[in-house]
C-alpha cells in the first residue's frame, strides 16, 4: 500500500482544488515558509479521522475550512481525498484503490466516504486498523513531536520503533491471550474443586 495522491479543496490554505500526486518510496514536499507544507500533513491526519483541532494546529475544527484571504473570500466546505494504492491488499477490502474522503461544512455537518460511499468514521478506522496508518499511530510525526521523540526515554523510543515495525500489535494480542489463559486457569481450578467434592 502507498499514498498515491491527496486532493484538497477548501482545506486550510488550499482554497481551490489541488491534486498532489505521490510516488511509491520517498517523497518530499518543499516550499517557502508559510506556503502550506504542514497543512498537507494536517490534511492527511484529518482525513484519517483526527478529532482534536489542536492536533491540526487550530482552535476549533472549523479552522480547517479556508477562511479567506485578501484575494478570495472564505468557502463553506473543506474536503480532502486520500487515494491509497491497495494492489498489495494491505487494506482488507476488494479494491486495488481506496479513496478515503472527509468533508466538513461550516454549518457543522460532516461526512466520511469510502470509495464514494457515505461511511462512518468507525468504518474508516476499521479499514485502517492493522495497516499502520491512522491518527493514533506515529505514521505522521509533527515538527514538535519529533523533538519530544528525540528527547524521550529509551524505553519510550523503543515502543515507537516496535509500533512502526508492527510488533506492538502482536505484543498487545499476546497480552490479551495471556489474560484469557489466566482466566481459563482460574475456571479450571474451580472445576477441579467441584470434581474433587463430587468424588
Ligand atoms: P513553515 O515552513 O514555516 O513550517 P508551512 O509551509 O508548513 O510553513 P503551513 O503552516 O502549512 O506552512 O501554512 C501556513 C499558512 O496556511 C498560513 O499562511 C495560514 O494563514 C494558512 N492557513 C491556515 N489555515 C487557514 C485557513 N483556514 N484558511 C486560510 N488560510 C489558512
Q: Which pLDDT does position 132 carry in this prediction?
A: 74
Per-10-residue mean pLDDT, the chain, length 199: 97 97 95 96 95 94 96 97 96 95 97 97 89 73 79 87 75 91 95 93
Alpha-carbon Rg for the chain, nearest whole angstrom, is 22
The string of pLDDT tens digits covering residues 78-95 is 999 999 999 999 999 999
Q: Helix or strand or coil: residue 45?
A: helix
Cα dist. 154→23, 116, 148, 160, 171 in Å?
33, 43, 12, 10, 18
Q: Which pLDDT does position 161 carry in this prediction?
A: 81
Q: Which pLDDT does position 162 carry in this prediction?
A: 78
Ligand 1 atom, smallest distance to 67 CA: 28
Q: Where are the strands (E) in 31-157, listed by range?
A: 77-85, 97-105, 110-114, 117-119
- Check the annotation: does 34 bind a ligand: yes
Q: Using CA atoms, how far apart are residues 93 and 22, in angstroms rounded to an integer? A: 22
Q: Helix or strand or coil: residue 21?
A: strand
Q: Which pLDDT does position 138 carry in this prediction?
A: 66
Separation of CA 38 and ligand 1 centre (Å): 7
- State the burial class of residue 60 (Cβ atoms within 10 Å of its Cβ: 0-12, 13-18, 19+): exposed
- Check the annotation: does 154 bind a ligand: no
The string of pLDDT tens digits covering residues 92-114 is 999 999 999 999 999 999 999 99
Written as nine digits, the cell of 13 is 490554505
- Check the annotation: does 33 bind a ligand: yes
- Check the annotation: does 52 bind a ligand: no
Separation of CA 74 and ligand 1 centre (Å): 15
With cell 477562511, the residue in question is 67
- The neighbour count for residue 50, using CB atoms within 10 Å, is 21
Q: Which of 11, 39, 75 to mutate to test the pocket of ligand 1 (most atoms within 8 A of CB)?
A: 39
Ligand 1 atom, smallest distance to 35 CA: 6
Q: What number does CATH give the domain 2-140? A: 3.40.50.300
Between the CA atoms of 2, 104, 10 and 33, what dihedral angle is there, to the nearest 10 degrees? -70
Q: Which pLDDT does position 28 carry in this prediction?
A: 94
Residue ranges around ligand 1 (CB below 6 Å): 12-13, 31, 33-39, 63, 65-67
Amino acid at each position: 500500500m502507498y499514498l498515491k495522491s491527496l486532493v484538497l479543496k477548501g482545506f486550510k490554505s488550499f482554497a481551490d482544488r489541488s491534486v498532489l500526486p505521490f510516488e511509491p518510496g520517498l517523497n518530499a514536499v518543499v516550499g517557502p515558509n508559510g506556503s502550506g507544507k504542514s497543512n498537507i500533513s494536517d490534511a492527511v491526519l484529518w482525513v484519517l479521522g483526527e478529532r482534536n483541532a489542536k492536533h491540526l494546529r487550530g482552535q476549533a475544527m472549523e479552522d480547517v475550512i479556508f477562511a479567506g484571504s485578501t484575494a478570495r473570500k472564505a468557502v463553506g466546505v473543506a474536503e480532502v481525498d486520500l487515494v491509497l494504492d491497495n494492489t498489495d491488499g494491505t487494506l482488507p477490502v476488494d479494491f486495488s484503490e481506496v479513496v478515503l474522503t472527509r468533508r466538513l461544512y461550516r454549518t457543522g455537518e460532516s461526512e466520511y466516504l469510502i470509495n464514494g460511499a457515505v461511511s462512518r468514521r468507525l468504518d474508516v478506522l476499521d479499514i485502517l486498523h492493522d495497516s499502520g496508518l491512522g491518527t493514533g499511530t506515529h505514521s505522521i510525526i509533527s515538527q514538535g513531536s519529533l523533538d519530544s521523540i528525540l528527547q524521550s526515554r529509551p524505553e519510550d523510543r523503543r515502543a515507537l520503533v516496535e509500533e512502526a515495525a508492527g510488533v506492538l500489535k502482536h505484543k498487545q494480542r499476546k497480552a490479551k491471550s495471556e489474560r484469557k489463559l489466566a482466566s481459563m486457569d482460574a475456571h479450571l481450578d474451580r472445576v477441579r474443586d467441584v470434581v474433587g467434592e463430587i468424588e
